[in-house]
Structure 1
């Protein structure tokens, strides 16, 4: 994925990581055989197709870590045009929201081949957050984020206990009033 300036800094990072740690020998062999670049096997759109066990994807379509460090890293915004938007999504301009919708669209496109797989669960909401499973407030509290009236914990339970379809994808921001937009305070101004 390119950042807002058209650079792709995350792929070279993972390429260097694979080389530095000698990780290639530990990556999925089927994935390695399907690509010329071993580092791609760190990315879900390449790795997931080779996972044979059931899995559940829990992510925000506007993952704050990806937004702040991959999509709009400080190097791509030296004048801070995105600072207010990064600190508060409601402060984003119309063009910034349109750009963020592109981030969401890219993620959903990457997940498209996995939709409908019976052993795969998915909860993709439109909250500005990262790691929504670690906090009771976002996992299973009375005011937790929901999709189709189910919390993350309930949908994971449906998937785990095979109680029917367990794949939910939210509408685009700002439609979800159940969101807890969790912007780490140390990210403000970055």
Structure 2
């Protein structure tokens, strides 16, 4: 019920001010309880999360036309509010599953007091750092992230959204997550990143 109330409030805000430069979900007082980044990334230690949909499909780390993306946490540093994680993906150039080892740290964005974003530090040859805002998190169900800078945006302020779900929901996204993501991405391109063909290809890397 709490999630339903939050979704309705978020939906009204988005409908009323869709054209506003400031994104309406950037409101710690209204939505901060569902934007706790540390709680969101800690769940990666207990459950694999799958990127089922995104509004973009080219990334500096994952490559062009990426697909079959999932994340699993491996180690945690409570003092730093960070975890080590492996993100697995495919892309157009390789056609096979590849791993990216990354450090995820809870940080703040948009002048929040509570940590509402995640800093990703890709280890190895890519050595890239990114910060994404957690828009909405439903425990044991999904995380919705906003990616401020996406490949091809030309610095025009147009970012992208990602919908991650737990393994038990990978083939049937919970209503609260689906509704929120659809509202946030109205009028934007949509890519199915995880589908049943990913299952047919297996979930092990080469």
Could you state the TM-score of these two structures normalised by the residue count of structure 2? 0.29
| Higher Cα Rg, which structure | 1
Higher helix fraction (1 or 2): 1
